[in-house]
Amino acid sequence: MITVGPRIRLLRENAGLSLRDLADRSGVSAPMLSQVERGETSPTLAVASRIAAGLDLRLSQLLRLDEDGVVTVVRAGEGRRGGADGHDYEVLTPPLPGQRAELSRHVLQPGARTGAAGDPPRHEPGSRETTLVERGTVVLLCDGEPHELRDGDCVTFDADLPHHFENPGPDEAVILAIVSAGLRRS
């Protein structure tokens, strides 16, 4: 038997929703939601599906049916890879449903950049990015403003603004980036 009540409460609170907010979004009454969260009743599949939709999730995500367990390991070199023109990256976090943050490692050859000036933001509204310069020197151009960063420097910025990193130096640069998804709007 799957106990879903505490998970619903945690997801609701993490989304900044009151019981009334989730009731409005899901069409499930606040008293019923309260009973489900406290474990006093189990929702039918139809009710659970409506609650999931109110949380912007699929039913399988709410019930964790498409997850293997509570711990997922991505071994070194097994992340999702991509890149072009002297910019190689590896997404180090697994593609789990409902995940709200992603960690990636970027290697920039001299003169390379993570995107082009004028590229639209790749991240959803409200997203934040924190990037650590593991090695080398990079310039963050965020909303037209340059910020020079060196070994060990860490920067946090609104990732829904136009931005990219450039490697102006003669040596390879390596950065680690964490992007956390935007706050849900109700």
Each domain of the chain, given as residue ranges in start order, spans: 5-62, 80-180
pLDDT at 147: 97
Count of helix runs (H) and strand runs (E) in the chain: 5, 9
pLDDT at 168: 95
| Distance from C-alpha of 5 to C-alpha of 45, rounded to nearest angstrom | 13
| Distance from C-alpha of 42 to C-alpha of 64, rounded to nearest angstrom | 16
Structure tokens at 1: 């038997």
End-to-end CA distance of the chain: 31
DSSP state of 29: -
Query: What kind of architecture, by CATH, is found in domain 80-180?
Result: Sandwich (2.60)
pLDDT at 183: 57
Going from the first residue of the chain to its last (186 residues), give the mean pLDDT of each consecutive group of 10, the final group possibly shorter. 78 87 95 92 91 86 65 81 88 76 94 78 82 96 93 93 92 95 54
| Distance from C-alpha of 166 to C-alpha of 86, rounded to nearest angstrom | 11
Tell me the β-bridge partners of 106: 89, 175
Beta strands of the chain (E only): which ranges? 80-84, 87-91, 101-108, 128-135, 138-142, 145-149, 154-158, 163-166, 173-180
Structure tokens at 21: 């907010």
pLDDT at 66: 53
User: In this predicted model, what pLDDT tens digit does every residue of 105-150 receive, in sequence order?
Assistant: 999 999 999 986 666 667 777 889 999 999 999 999 998 899 999 9
Element (H, E) at 13: helix 5-14
pTM score: 0.62
Residue with tokens 């390991």: 73
Class of domain 5-62: mainly alpha
pLDDT at 184: 42
pLDDT at 126: 83
pLDDT at 185: 40
